[in-house]
Structure 1
Amino acid sequence: MHGEYKVPGGKLVVVDLEEEAGALRGVRVSGDFFLEPDEALDAVNGALEGAPADADAAALAARVSAALPPGAHLFGVTPEGIGIAVRRALAQATEWAAHDWRLIRTAPQEPALHMALDEVLTTEVAEGRRPPTLRIWEWAAPAVVIGSFQSLRNEVDAEGARRHGITVVRRISGGGAMFIEPGNTITYSLSVPQSLVSGLSFADSYAYLDDWVLGALGEMGVRAWYQPLNDIATEAGKIAGAAQKRIVSGGGAVLHHVTMAYDIDADKMTEVLRIGREKLSDKGTASAKKRVDPLRRQTGLGREEVIDRLVGAFRGRYGLTEDAVTDEELARAEQLARTKFATPEWTARVP
């Protein structure tokens, strides 16, 4: 069995092993990380040899930590990263390079149709009818997108939304409300097979699926990191929020979508969103306006150039073939938008 895991902000760790009678055998850890002294690698392999095959990543990491000789140093890898790589080997997880990645960049779409396209395309990936897909969104209208479990009245000032002509829609993933204005927002979705995140915890899968974004931002001069659970942050403030939804049909798939603030009208945002003190209390700021620091200021680049660089970074790592939504997929999404995502029953399902 073979498992790989790119430690967010670090290096690649690879584990090859066999499972025999419920235990790990022939464990070999490798990668492009740094480890001192050399014999510490033997200690790592020895710690994992014979470990229960049902041990979780935390238990495996604890075995590795306990076995490291005094004064050992790990650079670009952590015991937790090694534990995750073991779990991915046991789960027979697939790697990024094993997939034929597709890119969809469409004309601007209405908010409800975007919600529907996410559900339809990810279901297609789960059923094996579509390869894993990166979709770049373009917005035809301003919107507030609330999470699947949020209360409509608690999150959105209805009068403020009406005054500014903003449509409110609810997505199928959890997480918080996103304030959207065409031209000021960069949004993308990844529809990936469940096998890509096998062996990862729900929390670890967020950073794993966006490691390429952090690399791309770094190339644009923005030092960014994942702030658990689902924020992409910089020293100047939050620049993006991520959310996920698991689709369990077929072989299973994960929808991972991210909204990035390229520019923002902070005054309008606070007139439309109800952002309470409790939500801000763990963000180190007393003002919603100060939470978000747009990419326009941090990069000095035009929005289209930022998107092109993001796409280029993904293509450079994993390959990317131009694609489009099929007529059948679009018809299903349009029907779903009408019957679900544009209906008050769905939008106000949590009043």
Structure 2
Amino acid sequence: MHHGEYKVPGGKLVVVDLEVTDAALRGVRVAGDFFLEPDEALDAINGALEGAPADTDARGLAARIDAALPAGAVLFGFSSEAVGVAVRRAVAGAAEWTDFGWRIIHEGPQPPALHMALDEVLTHEVAAGRRPPTLRVWEWDRPAVIIGSFQSLRNEVDERGAERHGVTVVRRISGGGAMFVEPGNTITYSLCVPQSLVQGLTFAESYAYLDDWVLAALGAMGIKAWYKPLNDIATDAGKVAGAAQKRVISGAGAVLHHVTMSYDIDAAKMVEVLRIGREKVSDKGIASAEKRVDPLRRQTGLPRAEVIERMIASFRARYGGADDVVSDAELARAQELAAGKFSSAEWLGRVP
């Protein structure tokens, strides 16, 4: 018997139990806390999946469901594709969040290069099975720009502007866009998770899946937020966060999923340091930046430390989690990488 679950981002839980016999789905049973009308539609969904080839992707399974649903059927809090994703996770033997003993790390301020290195080290430790899945909340000891693994340094950063404002520039191991951070204005966290947690999900689906807990945390603070493909968290007022990922294929495999959230923003300084999207240092450029990013400070009215405390409490309420620290061995390896790879001109300028 295979069991799979999929929590729809901002929606309901879909649970699927099934068997695979002769490379086909058998005995499919779909359940969950979703809403569905009419009642007979559930039998139609189960029937549509019965006998489907076990290697059918989520979209193909959704098409079978859509074709079988009675006219006027209403699926609320989930979709036919969400059922398909739950089936794929069942077939793939995906793990669930509560299968693990989570660790939560929130230590004092550290330099940008060390944060880059800690992400790499902790993700490899999770892949090797030496560390449980971990949520790490960062604290910054200085302003920084973090560019994506494949971004051009000269295209993204005004180096004279960065030097003028005392901004350290580093390159991370994940893709995506540049992040401008200041110690009191930014909330950054990493999830280092086993590959098994996102098994059966596409790359895009894994972003939404790993961000769902923070949507609930923001909702509890009065912010209606949603996942905006591919890697943003948005509200009616604007973007509040951006995510990036890196996959590690060593050991059992692991995923690094890290998110930078805007608690406050100095848009004038940002457009002097970042090149992309800037119209020099004009009022129009600053206004555009302020409109695109809507800080959590304005939306919540809460101190930054309290926002972080509530986020951690929300995560712990859903999945558990014991307080932890970076081990001496992990820190030593990260310090070595920070002083070498992540502080080297070769790494920073690998895409000039």
Give the TM-score normalised by structure 2.
0.97
Q: Which residue is 1:25 aligned to?
A: 26
* Deviations, residues 55-105 of structure 1 (Å, cap 9, x unaligned): 100100111111100011111110010000000000100000110000111
Tell me: CA distance 1:41–1:319, structure 2 relative to 1, closer, same or farther (3 Å): same
Shift of 1:127: 0.3
1:217 aligned to 2:218?
A: yes
Q: How many pairs align?
A: 345
Q: % of aligned pairs identical? A: 75
C-alpha contact (below 8 Å) 2:12/2:33 kept by paired residues: yes
Kindly provide the amino acid, as one letter, of the partner of residue 114 in structure 1: H
Q: CA deviation at 1:286?
A: 8.2
Question: Secondary structure of 1:215's partner?
Answer: helix
- Counterpart-to-counterpart distance in 1, 2:216 and 2:320: 15
The aligned amino acid for 1:15 is V
- How far, CA to CA, are the matches of 2:287 and 2:248 in structure 1? 37
Which segments of structure 1 move beyond 3 Å, counting only runs of 4 or more? none
SS of equivalent to 2:340: helix
1:154-193 → structure 2 map (5 Å cutoff): 154-193=155-194
Q: What secondary structure, in the 3-state scheme, does the structure 1 residue paired with 2:136 have?
A: strand
Counterpart residue identity of residue 72, structure 1:
A
Spell out the pairing of 1:1-351 with structure 2 (5 A cutoff): 1-276=2-277, 287-351=288-352
Aligned partners of 2:271 and 2:278 also within 8 Å = no
What amino acid is the match of 1:204?
Answer: E
User: For residues 218 and 167 of structure 1, what CA distance do their matches in structure 2 show?
Assistant: 33
- Taking the aligned partners of 2:278 and 2:6, their CA distance within structure 1 comes to 37
Map of 1:282 onto structure 2: none
Post-superposition Cα deviations, 1:275-324, rounded to whole Å, max 9, x if no partner, equal: 2379xxxxxx9822321110000000000000000000000000010011
SS at match of 2:170: strand
CA contact (8 A) 1:270 1:289 kept: no
Listed as ranges, the gaps of 5+ residues in structure 2 are 280-285
Alpha-carbon distance in structure 1 between the residues aligned to 2:23 and 2:162: 57
Distance 2:217 2:327 in 1: 29
Distance of aligned partners of 1:307 and 1:127 in 2 relative to their CA distance in 1, 3 Å threshold: same
Once superposed, what is the RMSD of the aligned Cα atoms?
Answer: 1.2
**Paired residue type of 2:153:** L
Q: CA separation in 1, counterparts of 2:116 and 2:93?
A: 31
CA contact (8 A) 1:275 1:288 kept: no
* Structure 1: runs of 5 or more not aligned: 279-284
Residue pair 1:193, 1:253 contacting (<8 A) in 2 also: yes
Residue 283 of structure 2 is matched in structure 1 by none
Q: Deviations over 1:141-197 (max 9, x none)?
A: 110000000000000011100100000000000000000100110000000000000
